Amino acid sequence: METNVQILVVMVVYALFLFMWGLWQGRKVKNSQDFAIAGRSLSGVVASLSERATGESSWALLGLPGAAYATGLLEIWTAIGCVVGIILAWTILAWRIQREAQNLDATTFTDFIAKQHGDKAQLIRVTGSITIVFFFFFYIGAQFIGGAKTLNNLFGLDPTWGMIALVILVIPYTIYGGFRSVAYTDVIQAVVMIVTLIVTPIVGLIYIANQPDGAIYAHSITEALSKAGPQFTDLSGGLDGFGAGCLIGGSLAWMFGYLGGLPQLTTRFISIRDVKQAKIGRNVGIVWTIFAYVGALSIGWIGIAIFGPDAISDRENIMPILLTTLFPPIIVGVLVTGILAAVISTANSVLILSATELSENLIKPLQKNQHDSLRLSRIVTAVLSILALLVAFFSSSEFVYTIVGYVWAGIGCTFSVVILLTLFWKRFSGGAAVLTIVTGMLFTIVWITTGMDKIVTVRLMTFIVAAVVAIAGSYIFPRKG
């Protein structure tokens, strides 16, 4: 059997299993709360694995290894920023958000914020939901692009057909089972992802250490980075002073998005059964994260050792190329599903989030008949999936890493300020929350389109600007009551 056929068979079996598992879980969905947050019934283990599978989208399995391959040690700062952000989120935010959401009976991300600020609740729902749906079209598109790249690299499948194949796999069980199906399929995908990120570096290190001279570029990561040039071992990217500070600060700024600001992750906290389970989820999530990031960076550096720093034209293909180099076809088929798992878990999570935000906060308040809310949620999910696919077609020339970075600022770095101040500052007002959301969205768009992001990253600047606006706005529009 040809190599590609063996890989394809394994992937098809996995995809069918995932599809059927999602439908099986979906049979338990009886109402809109089941559809939106799995009836607030998830254990800590399920919630944490779902959160990690969703958080580490195609950028972590394609973009981060690719960036490590292209820049060497410099990408350590990005990993540190992400890991610190995740640890802080699970340590100081998860149980608080679970507790507050349960007390408020909040069922969506913006509903959670709105119910904390009663005087501006409806305005927060409308503003927050519009912002999330707008930006997340591009986020979903990024996932489809990442998956299509993998299928194109392995099988030569046209990216357009690759995106369509992913939609066919993701959409049916997401429409049927909503958040519950998504969360439980995420558990399987989180396991596949972490196995891929642990096994691949271990085998890669053994491989480069035992190859004959001249067969590969270098026999260790240290030798590879040194041989590739001083820029690959320089933690400041060859810059000094202000330039180095901006570069490192921009990489560390990935942390801010994790601090409650990414709705698809915070929704996992909302859906946890109780505070005890949230603390169990904390332990699982932190351990998973540390292994995943060490693995992702190592894959990029091992790629340099095997191929050299200039051998791969599209750096984001380093992971699938490395897999086909290190493993026999059947194992490749199993491990490469780790990439597709990341794509699928994030795509369906963002879809279900956008659908529930749109249906619960924008459409349902306009309806006179509120009895068929589950059907409405499913219809909205189907429509959004088609629109997201169209967005992906027009975004296919962009790096996955860059696209997600923009969404990280417009959503993550804006809403993280709102969540943090909502939880920890009693003076923070609803009017300031609305002002922060609008300012963060507009600032992100302006900062990127004017090219300023090339000087100072939009992730850092959006968080700073949003924080200043939020604090000042709370004094200009003080909290009532």
Residue 171 confidence class, pLDDT cut points 50, 70, 90:
confident
Statement: residue 405 has pLDDT above 70 = no
Query: What is the pLDDT, as a whole number, of residue 83?
Result: 95
Statement: residue 403 has pLDDT above 80 = no
Query: What is the pLDDT, as a whole number, of residue 127?
Result: 93
Query: What is the pLDDT, as a whole number, of residue 404?
Result: 64
Assess contact for 348 and 182: CB atoms under 8 A.
yes
Say which residues have a Cβ less than 8 Å from residue 436's Cβ, sequence separation at least 6.
414, 417, 418, 466, 469, 470, 473
Considering the domain boundaries, does residue 481 fall inside one? no
Query: What is the pLDDT, as a whole number, of residue 337?
Result: 75
Query: What is the pLDDT, as a whole number, of residue 369?
Result: 61
| From 107-121, 206-220, 403-417, the region with the lowest mean pLDDT | 403-417
Each as own residue / partner, the long-range contacts of residues 229-238 (CB below 8 Å, 24 or more positions apart, any chain) are: 229/309, 231/71, 231/72, 231/74, 232/71, 232/72, 232/73, 232/304, 232/309, 233/72, 233/73, 234/72, 234/73, 234/74, 235/73, 235/74, 235/76, 235/77, 236/74, 237/71, 237/74
Residue 344 confidence class, pLDDT cut points 50, 70, 90:
confident
Assess contact for 353 and 28: CB atoms under 8 A.
no
Considering the domain boundaries, does residue 275 fall inside one? yes
The arithmetic mean of pLDDT across residues 396-402, rounded, is 52
The arithmetic mean of pLDDT across residues 357-375, rounded, is 75
Considering the domain boundaries, does residue 184 fall inside one? yes
CATH of the domain at 394: 1.20.1730.10
The arithmetic mean of pLDDT across residues 298-326, rounded, is 91
pLDDT one-digit tens code per residue, 423-468:
999 999 999 999 999 999 999 989 988 989 888 889 899 999 999 9
Supply the pTM of this predicted model.
0.91
Statement: residue 398 has pLDDT above 60 = no
Statement: residue 383 has pLDDT above 90 = no
Query: What is the pLDDT, as a whole number, of residue 367?
Result: 66
Residue 388 confidence class, pLDDT cut points 50, 70, 90:
confident
146 vs 323, higher pLDDT: 323
Radius of gyration of the chain (CA): 22
Give the domain extent around 252: 3-476
Considering the domain boundaries, does residue 112 fall inside one? yes
The arithmetic mean of pLDDT across residues 145-152, rounded, is 75
Statement: residue 239 has pLDDT above 90 = no
Query: What is the pLDDT, as a whole number, of residue 395?
Result: 60
Query: What is the pLDDT, as a whole number, of residue 255?
Result: 94
Cα dihedral sign, 316-319-320-324: positive
| From 167-181, 182-196, 332-346, 402-416, the region with the lowest mean pLDDT | 332-346
Considering the domain boundaries, does residue 189 fall inside one? yes
Query: What is the pLDDT, as a whole number, of residue 97?
Result: 97
Q: How far apart are CA 44 and CA 437, in angstroms?
A: 30
Q: How far apart are CA 215 and CA 57, in angstroms?
A: 33
Statement: residue 174 has pLDDT above 90 = no
- As for how many domains the chain has, the answer is 1
Statement: residue 1 has pLDDT above 90 = no
Mean pLDDT, the chain, as a whole number?
87
Statement: residue 4 has pLDDT above 80 = no
Statement: residue 64 has pLDDT above 80 = yes
Statement: residue 399 has pLDDT above 60 = no
